[in-house]
Amino acid sequence: MALTTVEPPVQSTKSLAPPPDVITTPCDPWPRPYYLEDNLRRVAPYHFTYNTNVKERWRGRELLDIFREEFRDRPEEYYKDAIDTGKIQVNGQSSTRIAHVKNGDVISHTLHRHEPPVTAQPIGIVHEDDDMIVINKPAGVPVHPAGRYNYNSVVEIMRAQRGHQWNPLPCNRLDRLTSGVMFIGKHKKAAEALTEQLMGRTVRKEYVARVRGEFPAEDVVCEQPILQISPKLGLNRVRANGKQAKTVFKRLAYYPPKPPQPNTDIEEGPSKQGYSIVRCLPLTGRTHQLRVHLQFLGHPISNDPIYANRRVFGSALGHSVSTSDDDEDIMTRLARMGKDEIAEAVAYEDEMVADYNAKKAEKMTGELCEICDTPLYSDPGPHELGIYLHAKKYADADGRWGYETPLPAWALPPEGAKGPVEVTSESDPAKFVQAEVDFIE
């Protein structure tokens, strides 16, 4: 099915506005301060106020302790100053660092917001009717505003396309780094009906992934349970006491390694392993299910910054081994990535090994914003704007409807090689139908 794209208006200037005399809550710049540059969608920095109801785990804790332990994007000295100067308030009033918050309190934080850039690739429209829009989400764009992302999110980009009062209602969620089919409700009734169907067991989901090494030629069923280890870091691992999870995998193609390049000192990587394109059919919907199962099978997604990162998991990358003994070490190493160090998963797994170190990666630059003294990040490199995981198709199990996209560019045969350029019914895993029946029963 052909895709169409619609681009929101972008501002031609990227000048910084001075802080307002009186900061209102919330501020809502319109049109959104987008501009396109270097194949990235950027957002000019702007003032913004977060309002957050006190979470249960925050109750009784000191205000500074909450910001120091729960938020990662600013140093502790920033939060001390923000509390002292009234940028952080409780119930609209200035507070102190040692004030204890309680149930019902609202914490406000006004800051000069710096959003990370995302890909300039537009949101593709797969299908649209009076009730919903089926989109092809670009990799690297979060669905909802979260963390450092606000206007650089699917919801806000679509709102910028269709008008300030339009409220897109996502019915399924993809990880920020994942691309592919998503459903956007146009009104509450349609969104609720579609969400209910998507959360049931009546929708068949198909993904494609590009993984390290030669995936087995026979169909693979992985039924390892998955446990969330750290919500803050987004880390999930196979655990006997985790939630039930089941995925069927079918290899579509294996592309052997290229001949080693002269004058390189890479010890291990695609020059010795090659990569596979794998069809993934999840029968459950656990967070990071495909990424965790593929890592456990010894074939992590090639450029996954978490689960294919040797500097986090070690040389085995968690293959067939996942115990709580090393959780703390893994979380400590993972917390450093993107701050003072460059995530190096790509240095081992991607075909661009030779010139990896010449590419930019998002990390702290040591420079400060001229308005708010916020530490600035460099731009993310191409390898950090998404991973090789794509939601290719969602279809009703009874065949009443189905929506799919073409294979992404990274899943097509490399230059000079032969391989599939589309997925056909003939490539359905032989074990999928039986596995689906067994699971539903």
342 part of a folded domain: yes
- Mean pLDDT within 68-78: 82
Using N-to-C axis directions, what is the helix angle for 63-70 and 76-84, rounded to 10°?
150
List C-alpha distances in Å: 415 to 126, 255, 298, 410: 28, 11, 26, 11
Angstrom distance (rounded) from CA 206 to CA 423: 10
Q: How many domains does the chain have?
A: 2
Q: 73: closest CA among 149, 174, 14, 145?
A: 149
- Do both 260 and 301 map to the same domain? yes
- Do both 148 and 108 map to the same domain? yes
pLDDT at 421 over 50: yes
DSSP-derived pairing of the beta strands 46-53 and 4-5? unpaired
- Do both 18 and 147 map to the same domain? yes
pLDDT at 56: 93
In tens, the pLDDT along 361-402 reads 566 678 888 888 777 888 887 767 899 999 999 999 888 899
Laid out side by side, the sheet with 88-90 consists of: 46-53, 106-113, 88-90, 93-94
377 part of a folded domain: no
pLDDT at 256 over 80: yes
- Do both 294 and 433 map to the same domain? yes
Which residues is 396 bridged to in the sheet?
203
Residue 428 C-alpha from the chain's centroid: 27
pLDDT at 3: 52
Number of helices and strands (H, E) in the chain? 10, 22
- Mean pLDDT within 146-174: 93
Q: Where are the beta strands (DSSP E) in 272-379?
A: 275-282, 364-368, 375-377
- Do both 252 and 139 map to the same domain? no
pLDDT at 209: 98
Identify the burial level of 241 via C-beta atoms within 10 angstroms of its C-beta, where 0-12 means exposed, 13-18 middle and 19 or more buried: exposed
C-beta of residue 110 within 8 angstroms of C-beta of residue 48 = yes
Task: Name which residue leads in pLDDT, 436 or 172.
Answer: 172
- Do both 218 and 345 map to the same domain? yes
Query: For residue 14, what are its two tokens?
Result: 């990227």
Measured between its terminal Cα atoms, the distance across the chain in Å is 34
pLDDT at 322 over 70: no
- Mean pLDDT within 38-62: 92
Task: Name which residue leads in pLDDT, 33 or 344.
Answer: 33
pLDDT at 131: 95
Show the domain range for 306.
201-358+406-440
pLDDT at 424 over 80: no
C-beta of residue 10 within 8 angstroms of C-beta of residue 32 = no
Query: For residue 333, what are its two tokens?
Result: 């190493």
Q: 30: closest CA among 127, 122, 160?
A: 160
Angstrom distance (rounded) from CA 12 to CA 37: 10
Angstrom distance (rounded) from CA 344 to CA 349: 9
Residue 175 a catalytic site member? yes
C-beta of residue 172 within 8 angstroms of C-beta of residue 132 = no
Task: Name which residue leads in pLDDT, 336 or 279.
Answer: 279
Q: pLDDT above 70 covers what percent of the chain?
A: 74
- Do both 55 and 105 map to the same domain? yes
178 part of a folded domain: no
Angstrom distance (rounded) from CA 137 to CA 142: 9
pLDDT at 21 over 70: no
- Do both 294 and 252 map to the same domain? yes
Angstrom distance (rounded) from CA 361 to CA 268: 21
C-beta of residue 304 within 8 angstroms of C-beta of residue 387 = yes
Which residues is 34 bridged to in the sheet?
43
List C-alpha distances in Å: 405 to 137, 155, 207, 242: 10, 20, 10, 32
246 part of a folded domain: yes
C-beta atoms surrounding 46 within 10 Å: 19
180 part of a folded domain: no
Identify the burial level of 185 via C-beta atoms within 10 angstroms of its C-beta, where 0-12 means exposed, 13-18 middle and 19 or more buried: buried
Average per-residue pLDDT for the chain: 81
Q: CATH code at 238?
A: 3.30.2350
pLDDT at 334: 67
- Mean pLDDT within 22-35: 73
pTM of structure: 0.78
pLDDT at 228: 84
Q: 55: closest CA among 102, 95, 21, 113?
A: 102
- Do both 150 and 243 map to the same domain? no
Q: Is the peptide bond before 260 cis (omega within 30 degrees of 0)?
A: no
Choice among 81-90, 230-239, 384-393 with the minimum mean pLDDT:
230-239
Which residues is 208 bridged to in the sheet?
279, 390
Which position among 81, 130, 131, 175 bears the catalytic label? 175
Query: For residue 110, what are its two tokens?
Result: 């006004």
Q: 136: closest CA among 400, 404, 423, 383?
A: 404
- Do both 222 and 162 map to the same domain? no
- Mean pLDDT within 142-156: 93
- Do both 144 and 232 map to the same domain? no
217 part of a folded domain: yes
Using 50, 70 and 90 to split pLDDT, how confident is the model at 192?
very high
- Mean pLDDT within 51-76: 89
pLDDT at 146 over 60: yes
Place of tokens 């893994």: 330
134 part of a folded domain: yes
Q: For the chain, give the number of residues.
A: 441
Which amino acid, one-letter code, is at 215? F
- Do both 24 and 92 map to the same domain? yes
Q: CATH code at 23?
A: 3.10.290.10
Using 50, 70 and 90 to split pLDDT, how confident is the model at 358?
very low
282 part of a folded domain: yes
Q: Of the candidates 122, 150, 170, which is a domain's last residue?
A: 170
pLDDT at 173: 87
In tens, the pLDDT along 395-411 reads 998 888 999 999 999 99
Angstrom distance (rounded) from CA 256 to CA 274: 4
